[in-house]
Structure 1
Amino acid sequence: MSVPRATVRLQLHAGFTLDHAREQIPYYASLGVSHLYLSPISCAVPGSLHGYDVIDPTRVNPELGGEPALRALSEALRARGMGILLDIVPNHMATHPGNAWWWDVLARGRQSRYAHWFDIDWRPADKTLYGKVLAPFLAQDYAGSLAGGELRLVHDGERDRYLIEASGGRFPVADGTLACRGRDCTEILAEHDPAEHRGRWRLHELLKRQHYRLCGWRCAADSINWRRFFEISGLAGLRIEEPEVFDAVHELPLKLYEQGLIDGLRIDHVDGLARPLAYCRRLREAMRARRPGGAGAGAEPWVVVEKILAGGEVLDERWQVDGTTGYDFMDQAAAVLHDAHGGARLIGLWQQVCGRSDTAADFLREARTTMLRRHFFAERNALVRRVHELIHMRARPGEWSQEAVDRVLEVFLACFPVYRSYVEGAEAADQDRAVIDRAAAQARARLDPDSGEHRLLDLVTAWLIAIPPGTQPARRPGAPLCDEAACRQEAVRRFEQLTPPLAAKSLEDTVFYRYGPLLSRNEVGSDPSVLAESVEAFHARNAWRAEHYPASLLATASHDHKRGEDARARLAVLSERVEEWERACREWAAWKTQECETPSQSAERYMLWQAMVGAWPLDLHPRDPEALAAFGRRIVQWQRKALREAKQNSSWFDPDLDYELRCAQYVHELLGWAPAQARRLAEAVDADERPDASDGHAPEAGLLCSFHDFVQDIAPAGAVNSLAQTVLRLTSPGVPDLYQGTEWWDFSLVDPDNRRAVDYPGRRRALDAAAANADMAALLAHWRDGRIKQAVIRAVLALRAQAEAVFARGACLPLETAGRRREHVIAYARRLGGQDVIVAVPRLCAQALAEQEGDGGPRIDMTYWDDTGIMVSALGGRDMKDIFTGKTHRPSANAELPAQRLFAELPCAVLVTT
């Protein structure tokens, strides 16, 4: 097949298998989707809910139905002219006993065939770890685990082998380290019984002889000698740059591609790889060589990468991929629907709440420094050692200490403006040079000019940019046994594999939970310091994508989003109605104020209120205690994650359970329960219980009615934003991606909330009930059920099927708007040859909806538009038909389409030439 027309992302697991996905094909075919975009299907840790914890990349996971189920799914899709986009994980594997490669490394150490497959430093700074793998998997420290009996020697009778059992996990006993020939199993186990002093000593001596060193999980940040995925010790980094590792990991997806079972690949966490650009080129060449029908047959392989782009950053021609997974578009489509003027006021309000005037950039530098010092200390130390060795080769011995290198690198890393650079040759490309220079300029302003650190910084950045010319200097005493170029390459690799997890954990998993002027801008792919963007900027990005990456994915929701697309669209309304939000916050802050509340706690409450406003279900009634309890449970689960990610009053490493319980109690009191019952409901979240929610519930208590009324007031404007965002995603240059279930309103929170089961029967019934030419006015009248959004998606995807070439290859031309409300319309034309599609959606119309009498829903009073119109002189004055309403629109004498007519029935319009 060619490039997909539209995809839907499905999260597979044992509860939703490949067979379950096959059952949904008729529904998605009717909706207009061309490809199922599947989460990883290779063997993962048993019970995995996401598939990224791979244990065997060479087989389709039996829990998902195995290869037979995949073939059945592909055949059913092919019968309808549909296909599959497959998510693959080349960066890491799970450190699970089921991972045969990892197990062999633990069992054989450096003699294992797979010893160089994983990114392990066999000669780390800690000499006691030479030739060993640190195994930070104990629930407590090693001594406590040994004394407490958590470490035991056990015998696997089925395979007749001895194992170490540790904190619920199992580890191999290396050949030759346990004298057991001709001896009784019971006797050997008794000799190593940790309940006895001599048994503990023997067990300890046995463990010393292994190729791994068990320790408490907290040791990982300081001492780990292998690359992890972010800071997750359950996921070990692969050296995919090694040819045999590449071949082994891609054996399955390449086979599936060659056999025509899949149509393209999505590369997870591409920035984690040592050489992403070379990897992408290599993968494309491998796919070309194994194209269905032969190397020269069919369309080009379709490959997209999961890549976070910073402001102003783009994928350049070196990548040789079809684009990203769409986080960049998710940011752009949201930013253009926010009001910049209101955003500035919200920042002022936030500064009052949290008691500090720091910018988002200040919060980010602070978070980066914290992560470097507490969470990536081992990775940072390994980088410092390599850079110091490199400097030692060129500079006079002792001129700069390792500590000085450490100080300079900390500041430089804290200022690094993007996820990573891509220095894969002897010299950095212009794009990477600019990034490195920008970070160096910021770092220089934070270093002491009198200490010589500026000169050291210059030396460090010069090595990142290029290998200095000249002959290879003689090796100095004590210098490592490697040449200068190899040492520089290793330093660059370590630097470039540290910045992506540092960026992600600092921004997405720290700042997003500490800095909260407006949570709709705290989203994957977004910069919280940029609260809004202009229509002109949106048009420019669309035009660039049309020219450079017309097959890139366009997403507005994903399995990784912090909150659902419609929750963000609703929160965007706050940027337009700041005064009402300020009044509400004053009321909520005055309720149950505690004398000891700190600024960070005030900030937590402020972000909690936003989370509740965004996630509040449209059908949630103040007199439905069961539904309120279910909502409170979701909020509390989000709140716990938010508190721990913020790392201020609680954390994953050191959770304050009492504080978290008090915060959870506050949520339930706010929703109308008396303190005692609120505490019981809060405790039930952890116990996974469902107490009687009606007991002690009073709708008039707490802030329940105030929250409910506020949400009902802004919800119609939020729905207008949602429909506008949906149409932008479906018509902009690129391949629109739908996240499972979001064809109805999506007010989800961060995972696992955004991965809840989808009500497919309800969605199928709604789609079947609405004909292809659905009555949009009737659906809009019942907008709260979400069927209007589904109908809009279906209508536009049907148009994409009819005018496929226009959307696949057509230009994207901004259309001029005129009149009093011209800044409140986004309009553009998709054009190819003589065929045109005009797209128009409203923006920043919340005030117009607020002034309407009664509950008019997401329908804007036509008098609001006054003389506003879209200029279409470039389209030749032809009649245009609206695909939603069926009405024909004829441009006026001055080639204008009035907004009053375009948005008379629906707050969005897509027109085609008749």
Structure 2
Amino acid sequence: MTESTSAPTSTYRLQLRPGFGFAEAAEVVDYLERLGVGAVYASPVLDAAPGSTHGYDVVDPTRARPELGGEEGRLALSGKVSAAGLGFVLDIVPNHMSVAEPEADPWWWDVLKHGQESRYAKYFDIDWAAGPVLVPILGDEGEPTTEGDVVTYYDHRLPVSEHYRLVHWRRANEELNYRRFFDITTLAAVRVEDPEVFEATHGEVLRWVAAGQVTGLRVDHPDGLADPGGYFRMLKERSGVWIVAEKILGVGEPLPSSWPVEGTTGYDALREVCGIFVDPSAEERFTALAAELGQETDFEAVEHTCRTLVTDSILRAEVRRIGALVQGVDQADAEAAVAGVMVNFPVYRSYLPEGERNWATAVSRVKGAEALDEQVRADPTGELATRIQQTSGMVVAKGTEDTAFYRYTRFAALNEVGGAPDRFGVPVEEFHTLAAQRDSALPESMTTLSTHDTKRSEDVRARLAVLSELPDEFGGLVREWTKRHGIDEPSLNLLAWQTIVGAWPIGPERLRDYLDKAAKESKLRTTWVDHDEEFEAAVAAWPGQVLGDAVTRGEIEAFVGRIRGAGWSNALGQKLVQLTAPGVPDVYQGTELWDLSLVDPDNRRPVDYAVRRELLARIEDWWLPEVDETGAAKLLVVQRALRLRRNRPELFRGYRPLPAEGVAADHLVAFHRSPDLVVVATRLPLGLAAAGGWRDTVLPLPPGEWTDVLNGREAGTSVAGLLKRYPVALLVRETS
């Protein structure tokens, strides 16, 4: 076992891709060190499908990706990171590999060529009993041709063999006989539960770990694994480094205690931090607006419908494969029980025998699931139990996040990965309780506000949170705008107006691309597979019509102008809270300045580091920027908080709320991380201003000389004085 490496003080996520590879990442290491970052946190770097912009489609886990600079480039980056005194956290993908281009994946090519005789046949989760591997690439036109020992069909090239069968692409969801990543047929699942497969897929990364070149691991999609707990135990034993799991927890759900990991990738913290900046009193009026515009407002009903859609169509092949494992029951009844249990899961999946209560809850909601329940409980590590648990997470994620979140658009700021759209914000008291629990149970868990997977960036959500303070005004504008330019689908219509306001200024092209994706994800009027060309054309034309209407555009600009400052206040508040609260904070690339990105690929746009370097140099020279459109105030908050965490880690141990006193006390969230560190942030800024500001509100600081690290000035107990320049403060007590 490798010697254990401690958790970084913070991480900074870099999205590597062709054009921003190892060499380009190396060029920003000195900037990240100056920013105060504890570790560079890289997206997957193993060889991926040609041209991949994200790296999750690994084709060869035995080498660093040539398109990023290969082994030479990786070593150069590692050396630069190490010389800067930073850690290096790597994102790895144990669940699947890309089979989109068989020639690029030597293992898959060998399986297609030799079938079960291939040495890699057991590497992939293939149902060989169902016959040859189905390759669903055929369309309505054209015929495959053979050239030597290669079969060609348009851009597809495969080996000549009888071990696979080409079928129409539409048959994949119904008949596919290999496990995949969600509904993506070009990502075939691998069986890392087999020790040989684990070694083959992890050997190269573990070599980097052993050499001290990787100091932490982020594990993608562990819920897809046959035995996540067993996998993490093996990974921890072999690596000994800091490990976080991309595990999305339900509200109140604990991380499985048998997983030897430091925590999650932070979506639980995201919900909690963002939630305290939402005014819960606005819930009824947003519900009324959604209902008036024709949207279903019962989230549980929407979610159930969407999950059922997934089991009945998108993941039909998986349901059939699991149903066939149920003994002594009619196949149709078995499939209905399997689908019903997965649809009714209260969380993403169980890890039997852990999570038995969640399994029991799901079973209790489904008539006719008795035989399934009995057989699963009789062998909780058997194939039936394993496959239904692996697949339940796919049903929940695909049904809830990727469908329901695009249908239930009452208040889009809540519709985030790991979020709970039916819970209108998070009470401050609940936030304090959960933060204290994280400090006690998982103090080295990652926290985040933006990732490559978030539906919208942290600053978009921060501005949208302001709408909860203006429900009547915003509702009136939406009603008027809808009369002029309504989209003929209520969910998309309400989402579109929130998106324009949240991401303003936004051009027609970005807005068009986002709305096209949102319309297809909701699967109401059109989908990625079955297109309603007329509706899609109307949606594509909509941004130009709205932004080309001078009156509507002027009203949007005026309204955003009124709430922009409050959005900045929320953004600074949630960022400081995330950076200083219990856990290891991650900063997603570029978000140290204002970032109004939407869902991928919008959030993977290039980052202008030249601008950030210039502003950082001024901040290092004690420039105190205004809170304005440059975003320099956010860079100040990030730099001061990260450097303090890195330079004085002893200040960030423990957690205790620090209630304010006075008429505006509810507009402040403050806490101790240690007796000598206090974090202060403003919440609900419009309501605060409307009520007359802070007035006599005070923060009862313990005796001593307190300094605000953000501005270098002495701090007193008057909140009005404390937050005169910025809506946040980071206070350190001077000690001898």
Where on the TM-score scale, by shorter chain, does this alignment land: which range? over 0.9
Give the Å deviation of 1:352: 1.6
Aligned position for 1:656? 532
8 Å contact kept, 1:577–1:847: no
Q: Which residue of 2 aligns with 1:884?
A: 710
Shift of 1:71: 1.1
Shift of 1:459: 3.6
TM-score, L = length of structure 2: 0.96
**Would you say 1:735 and 2:584 are equivalent positions?**
yes
Partner SS state of residue 614, structure 1: helix
Q: How far apart are 1:112 and its partner, in Å?
A: 0.8
Q: Which residue among 91, 96, 101 is the counterpart of 1:92?
A: 96
**Conserved in 1, the CA contact under 8 Å of 2:95 and 2:192?**
yes
1:669 correspondence with 2:548: no
* Whole-angstrom CA distance in 2 between matches of 1:462 and 1:151: 47
Aligned letter for 2:163? H
Report the Cα offset of residue 62 of structure 1.
0.8
Q: Give the alignment partner of residue 285 of structure 2, picking from 338, 341, 345.
A: 345
- Do residues 166 (structure 1) and 42 (structure 2) align? no
Paired position in structure 2 for 1:3: 7
Deviations 1:36-80 (CA, angstroms, capped at 9, x unpaired):
100110100111100011110010011111111111111111112
SS of 2:121's partner is coil
Query: Equivalents in 2 of 1:880, 1:76: separation in Å?
Result: 37
CA deviation after TM superposition for structure 1 residue 458, in Å: 3.4
Query: How far has the Cα of 1:402 moved from its partner?
Result: 2.3
Mark the CA change 1:642 to 1:440 in structure 2 (over 3 Å): closer, same or farther. Answer: same
SS of the residue 1:828 aligns to: strand
2-side partners of 1:68 and 1:4: how far apart? 25
Q: Provide, for residues 693-715 of structure 1, a one-character-per-residue CA deviation record: whole Å limited to 9, x for no partner.
A: xxxxxxx25x1111111111111
Is the contact between residue 406 and residue 491 of structure 2 (CA under 8 Å) also seen in structure 1? no
Question: What does 1:402-801 correspond to in 2, within 5 Å?
Answer: 402-423=331-352, 428-429=353-354, 432-441=355-364, 443-444=365-366, 447=367, 453=368, 457-464=369-376, 466-467=377-378, 485=379, 489-592=382-485, 601-617=489-505, 631-672=507-548, 700-701=550-551, 703-775=552-624, 778-780=625-627, 783-801=628-646
Match of 2:686 among 819, 822, 846: 846
Q: SS at 1:3's partner residue?
A: coil
Q: How far, CA to CA, are the matches of 2:576 and 2:621 in structure 1?
A: 17
Contact preservation (8 Å) 2:14, 2:40: yes
Distance 1:772 1:515 in 2: 47
The code of the aligned residue for 1:529 comes to: D
Q: Is 1:117 paired with 2:117? A: no
| Matched position secondary structure for 2:416 | coil
* Residue equivalent to 1:76: 80
Residue pair 2:295, 2:408 contacting (<8 A) in 1 also: no
Aligned amino acid, residue 203 of structure 2: E
**Structure 1 runs of 4+ off > 4 angstroms?**
none
Counterpart position of 1:281 = 233
What do the CA deviations read for 1:479-516 (whole angstroms, capped 9, x no partner)?
Answer: xxxxxx59x71101110111111111111111111110
2:255 to 315, 325, 335: 315
2:278 partner amino acid = H
Aligned residues: 728
Cα pair distance change 1:866/1:459, threshold 3 Å: farther
Say if 2:145 is the partner of 1:152.
yes
User: Would you say the 8 A contact 1:5–1:735 is kept in 2?
Assistant: yes
Q: Partners in 1 of 2:546 and 2:185 — Cα distance?
A: 38
**Partners of 1:169 and 1:556 in 2: how far apart?**
39
Distance in 1, Cα, partners of 2:166 & 2:621? 62
Do the aligned residues in 2 keep the contact of 1:745 with 1:789 (CA within 8 Å)? yes
Q: Say which is worse superposed, 242-251 or 314-323, in terms of deviation.
A: 314-323
* Distance of 2:423 and 2:93 partners within structure 1: 31
Q: Does the CA-based 8 Å contact 1:773-1:884 persist in structure 2? A: no
Tell me the CA shift for residue 592 of structure 1. Answer: 4.5
Specify the code of the residue in structure 1 equivalent to 2:146.
L
The residue aligned with 2:312 is 373
Are the equivalent residues in 2 in contact too, given 1:139–1:167 (CA < 8 A)? no
Aligned residue identity for 2:150: L
Q: Distance in 2 between matches of 1:868 and 1:898?
A: 6
Equivalent-residue separation in structure 1 for 2:385 and 2:677 (angstroms): 48
CA distance in 2, matches of 1:407, 1:111: 35
- Asked whether the 8 Å contact 2:338–2:388 carries over to 1, the reply is no
Aligned match of 2:650:
805
**C-alpha distance after superposition, 1:844-901 (max 9, x if no partner):** 122344x4xxxxxxxxx9x5112322234xx4x12211111222234xxxxxx23212
* 8 A contact 2:267–2:447 mirrored in 1: yes
- The amino acid across from 1:518 in the alignment is F
How many Å apart are 1:415 and its aligned residue?
A: 1.1
Secondary structure at the aligned position of 2:6 is classed as: coil
CA distance in 1, matches of 2:119, 2:637: 55
SS at 1:797's partner residue?
helix
Query: 2:111 — aligned with what?
Result: 105
Aligned equivalents of 2:144 and 2:371: distance in 1?
Answer: 48
Q: Which runs of 5+ in 2 are unaligned?
A: none
Residue 699 of structure 2: SS of its match in structure 1? strand
> How far, CA to CA, are the matches of 1:816 and 1:230 in structure 2?
45
1:622-644, Cα deviation, whole Å (9 max, x unpaired) = xxxxxx6xx11000000100111
- Distance in 1, matches of 2:179 and 2:597, equals 33
Task: Give 1:384 deviation, angstroms.
Answer: 1.0
Give the aligned partner of residue 622 of structure 1: none
Q: Is the Cα–Cα contact under 8 Å of residues 688 and 694 in structure 2 kept in the other structure?
A: no
CA distance in 1, matches of 2:632, 2:728: 15
- Say which SS state the counterpart of residue 818 (structure 1) adopts: coil
Cross-structure match for 2:677: 837
* Equivalent residue letter for 1:553: M
Contact 2:37 2:643 in 1 (8 A): no
Matching residue of 1:137:
137
Deviation per residue, 1:2-61 (Å, 9 max, x gap): 321111100111110110000001111111112110011010011110001111001001
Q: Deviations over 1:712-731 (max 9, x none)?
A: 11111111100001101110
Q: Distance in 2 between matches of 1:167 and 1:42?
A: 28
Residue number among 816, 827, 831 corresponding to 2:659 in the alignment: 816
Query: Residues of 2 paired with 1:61 and 1:822: CA distance?
Result: 53
Post-superposition shift, 1:772? 4.7
Q: Secondary structure at the match of 2:123?
A: coil
SS at structure 2 position matched to 1:343:
helix
CA contact under 8 A between 2:35 and 2:642: conserved in structure 1?
A: yes
Which structure is larger by alpha-carbon Rg, 1 or 2?
Answer: 1
Give the deviation of 1:462 after TM superposition: 3.7
Structure 1 counterpart of 2:695: 866
SS in 1 for 2:570: helix
Structure 2 match to 1:471: none
Distance in 2 (CA, whole Å) between partners of 1:516 and 1:269 is 26
Kindly indicate whether the alpha-carbon contact (under 8 Å) linking 1:643 and 1:651 is maintained by their aligned counterparts in 2: yes
Counterpart-to-counterpart distance in 2, 1:521 and 1:771 = 35
Give the TM-score taking structure 1 as reference length.
Answer: 0.78
Between the aligned partners of 2:163 and 2:663, the Cα distance in structure 1 is 74
- 2:120, 2:319 → 1: CA distance? 25
- Partners of 1:867 and 1:798 in 2: CA distance: 33
Decide whether the 8 Å contact of 1:137 with 1:167 is kept in 2. Answer: no
Percent of aligned positions with the same letter in both sequences? 38
Deviation at 1:360, TM superposition (A): 1.0
Q: 1: distance between equivalents of 2:728 and 2:254?
A: 29
